[in-house]
Amino acid sequence: MVSVAVGFFVAKKMESANYEVHVAQARAKAKAIEHEAELILSNSNIKVKEAELEARRRYEDKAISLKKEHSDKMGELEKKERSYKEEFKKITKEREDIQALQEETALLFDEGTQLKAEYEVKVKEALSVLERSAGLTQDEAKDLVLKKVEEQSRADIAHIVRKSEEEAKQDIKRKVNYILAQATTRFAGEFAAERLINVVNIKDDELKGRIIGKEGRNIKTLEMLLGVDIIIDDTPNAIILSSFNLYRRAIATKVIELLVQDGRIQPARIEGIYEKVKDEFDQGLIEEGENIIIDLGITKVHPEIVKLIGRLKFRASYGQNALGHSLEVAHLAGIIAAETGGDVLLARRAGILHDIGKALTHETAGSHVDLGADICRRYKEHPVVINAIFAHHGHEEPTSVESAAVCAADTLSAARPGARREVLESFLKRVQEIEDIAKSKNGIKQAYAINAGREIRVIANAKLVNDDEAVLLSKEIAKEIEDKVQYPGEIKVNVIREMRAVDFAR
């Protein structure tokens, strides 16, 4: 028990000693923390005071700057105010001076009016004295003097006018001759009269039989598709194609040349080559027109007009190729316009398009002048071009140098010896009229005048026309040709009705 009590007592003493040690340590830490807080507080107070001082310093600097700026602005305003006051004084003084001048001017005007009235009175007095002395009034004296001057001057004026007119006529004639001579000598156009036949050369006369075919099937197919008259006679190594239509004749020539080269001549092959050649020719028209536009140096031409220019290659007028004639007119008009101070490119443009309506006359009714003007208006061509189209046939007066140049160039191109043949043109018109009569009937697909216009081959639509109606159609066409067309001899009308049944084995 004693040892236990002693142990408890010792433990109690040790616990008490440890407690005091912890308390002493806590107090020391508390004092350290308190001291540190006092230092932080002291530093914070110092920083606050420094911030207050800095803010006050900035405020004072800004206030001083604003006061100075305010003072400067006030000084400027005072200067401007003084300047405005001085300017106002000047304006006031000038206004007073102007008012004084106006008053002085009014006085001078009144004096001038008074002097003018006095002068008119004096002049009237002088005129009355002169009238009494001469025995004539003022108007009578004036008329007498003018009449005497007119009588004396009439002969001189007439002589001068007559002399000037003669000189002007001589100068104009000399200038016109010079321009025409320059134009015609500087442009050398080719001359090639259009014929009515094309000749296809073949290496062997044996090919003639293959072109005719068994029972004439091949040549019938060729003539029906191509719309030309194929003449196979004793002429060695040659086949003759006859048609008034240059375009059809050119296609037919190319088709037969390809057939001869290929050697396989049969109806199906003929139709295939015909379609291919026709497509190539249509594309060739566009290329031909584009090349001509580039050669002439003109730009911004509508694609449809370019194609029509190409089609002129296969159109003839009085035996003269329409495209060759238009090119001739374009070059001549450009030269004439250059000599007379006009627009060369515009004159060429009007020259190449002056007969553009002829590219449409095969399938459209109306004169080539109206057709050409309509197509140029539709595609917004220059007004000078449209005026040239009308003026070169006398439908309008030329309104510009370029239009007049086209008219002169057209006359030069058409009037040279051998350029045109009237008989050929009348024949072509007659043949075209025969085709148009046949095409005007219902149910007709195509019509071709062949054999120099002595025969017409009419292709009827088998779905719309039966055999009996084909007989009636041939009679109607023949009767209308008799009534409307003047022709020698007789014209044979063939109405062909073909029914095809097509199917495919697959």
Dump pLDDT digits (tens) for 87-131: 888 888 888 888 888 888 888 888 888 888 888 888 777 767 766
CA distance 492 to 478: 8
Instruction: Quick: pLDDT tens for 351-399.
Output: 888 878 877 756 666 677 888 888 888 888 888 888 888 887 777 788 8
Q: What is the per-residue DSSP string for 243-260?
A: -S-HHHHHHHHHHHHHHH
- Cα→Cα distances 394→325, 330, 408, Å: 18, 18, 12
Mean pLDDT of the chain: 78
Identity of residue 56 = R
Q: What single DSSP character describes residue 214?
A: G
Domains and CATH numbers, the chain: 190-296 (3.30.1370.10), 302-420 (1.10.3210.10), 423-506 (3.30.70.1350)
pLDDT category of residue 504 using cuts at 50, 70 and 90: confident
**Percentage of the chain modeled with pLDDT above 90:** 0
- Looking at the predicted structure, is the pLDDT value of residue 185 above 60? no
The token pair at 332 is 């001549």
- Those residues whose C-beta lies under 8 Å from the C-beta of residue 298, and which sit 6 or more positions away, are 345, 348, 349, 352
Residues recorded for the chain? 506
Mean pLDDT to the nearest integer, 491-500: 83
What pLDDT is stored for residue 188 in this prediction? 47
DSSP-derived 3-state class of residue 417: coil
Instruction: Quick: pLDDT tens for 267-288.
Output: 888 888 888 888 887 777 778 8
- Looking at the predicted structure, is the pLDDT value of residue 416 above 60? no
The token pair at 339 is 């000599």
What pLDDT is stored for residue 165 in this prediction? 66
What pLDDT is stored for residue 191 in this prediction? 41
User: Closest by alpha carbon to 353, among 391, 319, 318, 320?
Assistant: 391
Backbone angles phi, psi at 83, to 5 degrees: -65, -45
239's enclosing H/E stretch is: strand 238-242
Instruction: Quick: pLDDT tens for 30-55.
Output: 888 888 888 888 888 888 888 888 88
CA distance 479 to 256: 35
What pLDDT is stored for residue 431 in this prediction? 81
CA distance 104 to 444: 101
- Looking at the predicted structure, is the pLDDT value of residue 418 above 70? no
What pLDDT is stored for residue 296 in this prediction? 80
Calculate helix-pair angle for 267-296, 303-311, nearest 10 degrees.
110
What's the whole-model pTM score?
A: 0.45
Instruction: Quick: pLDDT tens for 288-297.
Output: 888 888 888 8
Q: 470 versus 414: which is more confidently predicted?
A: 470
Backbone angles phi, psi at 449, to 5 degrees: -90, 125
Most confident of 57-71, 222-236, 474-488: 57-71
Q: 150 versus 299: which is more confidently predicted?
A: 299
Q: 334 versus 141: which is more confidently predicted?
A: 334
- Looking at the predicted structure, is the pLDDT value of residue 193 above 50? no
Instruction: Quick: pLDDT tens for 228-254.
Output: 877 887 777 788 887 777 778 888 888
Mean pLDDT to the nearest integer, 465-477: 84
Provide the strand spans (E) within 411-462. 444-450, 455-460
182's enclosing H/E stretch is: helix 138-186
CA distance 16 to 422: 155
What pLDDT is stored for residue 148 in this prediction? 67
User: Closest by alpha carbon to 384, among 425, 419, 345, 410?
Assistant: 345
Q: Is 465 exposed, middle or buried (0-12, 13-18, 19+ CB in 10 A)?
A: buried
DSSP-derived 3-state class of residue 487: coil
- Cα→Cα distances 35→32, 252, 327, Å: 5, 125, 117
Q: 128 versus 257: which is more confidently predicted?
A: 257
User: Closest by alpha carbon to 242, among 198, 277, 177?
Assistant: 198
CA distance 448 to 387: 36
Instruction: Quick: pLDDT tens for 312-326.
Output: 777 766 656 777 788
